[in-house]
Amino acid sequence: MRTLQERFGKITTFIFDVDGVMTDGSVNALESGEQFRTFNIRDGYAIERAVHSGYRVAVLSAGNQVGVRKRLEFLKIKDIFMGGPTEQKLHAYLGYLNREQINEAEVLYMGDDIPDFQILSRPDLLSACPADAADEIRAVCDYVSPVAGGRGAVRDLIEQVMKAQNKWLSWLTTDEPFEIKNER
């Protein structure tokens, strides 16, 4: 049986749920009907580093809020699957792997609740969850982050993988230019 560090070393693809993983699971309902979420900026930084370092990053969520999609697009995530029925998450996941010809042993999926159970319990997948995930989810995951969802669990996971592959701070030793984005 390979160690967790060895398995982290094989990861090429991160797939994340949104609510409870990238956010703390809270929904703020406005009078207008909009339901917004709050994301952790450090999670966003880690996602940008992963994308820049050549990892595939995908999101699979039953939710379909425009603001969430815009945040994910801002982070340069290209594979965004939102709005499908909760019961169809496994089908969407398998379809993505098949279409992109991704070996499941190279995938790390992070989810937090029962709708993620069918994916997280797959034997070839490296499964992860935040510290505050549902009991049933923590029981089947290979890695339980010490950090809660929406509070840096995504950052923790990406950092663990990139450190195992000696990629986390590798950009500090290059002459990569720093780019300031004008968001007006």
Report the predicted TM-score, pTM, of the whole model to 2 decimal places. 0.90
- Please write the tens of the pLDDT for every residue from 133-160: 999 999 999 999 999 999 999 999 999 9
Q: Which amino acid is at 90?
A: L
**CATH among 3.40.50.720, 2.120.10.30, 3.40.50.1000, 3.40.50.970 for 4-170:** 3.40.50.1000
- Please write the tens of the pLDDT for every residue from 6-33: 999 999 999 999 999 999 998 888 898 8
How far is the C-alpha of 145 from the C-alpha of 123, rounded, in Å?
19
- Please write the tens of the pLDDT for every residue from 153-180: 999 999 999 999 999 987 666 555 556 6
| 19 in a known ligand binding site | yes
| 135 in a known ligand binding site | no
Name the residue ranges covered by the structural domains of the chain.
Answer: 4-170
| 43 in a known ligand binding site | no
pLDDT of residue 2: 79
